[in-house]
A = this chain, B = another copy of it.
Amino acid sequence: MKYLHAMIRVSDIEKSLHFYQNLLGLTLIRHKDYEAGRFSLYYLATAEGEPEIELTHNWDDGEYVSGNAFGHLAFSVENIYDICQKLEDSGVVILRPPRDGRMAFVKDPSGISIELLQEGGSLPSHDKWSEMESTGSW
């Protein structure tokens, strides 16, 4: 038995691929278009062979609704301040800033909550982030 993937539906595939590939740093492992069903599947992972995030893009669908039964996807990161800065510079709101040098929450372009956790524990306090208030929900 193996955990293969978590699937999420995305309405703007370009924005979502930019978020997961360029901002979070995942790799696009494979991609397939289904002309007859008018949808595309994109599989991203931290490395080949690792469990994947499957993005389903229905060509004709609009927005999707996030319930609260599903919580979030979590990733460890090399430097939580650096990645939060990169996300912020790209217009992503840091909903729960890494005040503790350890944990942050953002949302992907479809509203899926993403938890970022510092590898190996927590970084030393950082003025910019330690004083930033949380905003919204995640």
Tally of this chain's copies: 2
Instruction: Assess the B8–A74 pair: CB atoms within 8 A.
Output: no
Instruction: Please count how many residues in chain A sit with their CB below 8 Å of the partner chain's CB atoms.
Output: 40
Nearest Cβ distance between residue A131 and chain B, in whole angstroms?
Answer: 24
Convert A12-29 into 0s and 1s, putting 1 for each residue whose CB lies closer than 8 angstroms to a CB of B.
Answer: 000000000000111000
**Bound-state Cα–Cα, A53 to B74, Å:** 10
Q: 10 tightest A-B contacts by CB?
A: A7-B71, A67-B67, A70-B70, A64-B69, A65-B67, A4-B74, A66-B67, A66-B69, A2-B76, A6-B6
* Chain A residues near B (Cβ < 8 Å): 1-9, 24-26, 45-46, 50-51, 53-54, 56, 64-78, 110-112, 115, 117, 119
